[in-house]
Amino acid sequence: MEPTQNVTEFILSGLCQNKKLRPVCFAFFVLLYLATVLGNLLIIVTVKSSQNLKSPMYFFLSFLSFVDMCLSSVTAPKLMADFLVEKKTISFGGCIAQLFVIHFFGCTEIFLLTVMAYDRYIAICKPLHYATAMTACVCGSLVAASWLGGFVHSIIQTLLTIQLPFCGPNEMDHYFCDVHPLLKLACTDTYLVGIMVIANTGMISLTCFVVLVVSYAVILFSLRSRSSEGRRKALSTCASHLAVVSIFFGPCIFMYLRPPTTFSEDKMVTVFYTIVTPVLNPLIYTLRNEEVKNAMRKLGSRQVTLGVK
């Protein structure tokens, strides 16, 4: 006899069990979230308003910033609210929706980072073909493909989870709804579903990571024959991308390229790619990029001038 689906809500353990530390954690994550939204919004506005940032690289960067804002917004507001309450609950429907949205934006970011590596490969290794290879139509298609890939991945991930029976218990040792904690609560054998999750999420993360590493290795190898100035500029851009890739892909591979088990470290690892990485991306891309910094200065001076008038 199949177990009945009688779970209507899940109880989350949250991120901090110490009552005295919760107000401090609340304030800390509020600041992180504000920095994420404002930092990424600043990049989007700067790219859209500057005539010097019209290359495909900045086109992709603006979309990456938008995805970062959305990814952080899926988990951060709920996490912050849960610091202020004793019982942290989420409805069954809300849990499934959160699972879908976080995998949608997370996988879209994976594909966008891969597209950005392809853009850098063409720009540095085949500069004469760059204008014809990375037209506005091609760039738009690559971004659309990233969104579509994220959507397909998330649909599969959600369907694998939603068809499982949940009849209790309903206490989840996490601060948001993710696949592995949900599989742990299912009232049936989840081995096959766990393998499919690894094949879906884990292999996407690993494959894209390998493609990224190989791409940047080829780029770095090709820089040997460049002038010192060209090499310095290309290395600066690649270093920024590699930093983002390492920070984002490391936790993803740790979380999803393994059997469906949960570890005590999982919550801190997921904080890294859902909340910390989105706030670091604006810093990484602006501090190491003179073009973006100059465009931001011009934007700031323009706003000051308008304010004076």
What are the Cα distances from residue 21, in Å, to 80, 109, 286? 13, 32, 33
Name which residue leads in pLDDT, 281 or 36: 36
Mean confidence (pLDDT) of the chain? 86
- In tens, the pLDDT along 230-251 reads 677 777 777 777 878 888 888 8
**DSSP 8-class letter at 91:** E
What are the Cα distances from residue 193, in Å, to 100, 167, 251? 16, 18, 21
Checking if the pLDDT of 2 tops 60, the result is no
Q: How far apart are CA 211 and CA 202, in angstroms?
A: 14
Checking if the pLDDT of 276 tops 50, the result is yes
Q: Residue 45: which pLDDT band, with cuts at 50, 70 and 90?
A: very high
Detail the DSSP E strand segments found in 105-167. none
Per the document, the length of the chain is: 309
* Percentage above 70 pLDDT, the chain: 93
In CATH terms, the fold of domain 9-308 is: Rhopdopsin 7-helix transmembrane proteins (1.20.1070)
Instruction: Tell which phi-psi region holds residue 7, choosing left (phi > 0), alpha (psi between -120 and 50) or beta.
Output: beta
**DSSP 8-class letter at 288:** T
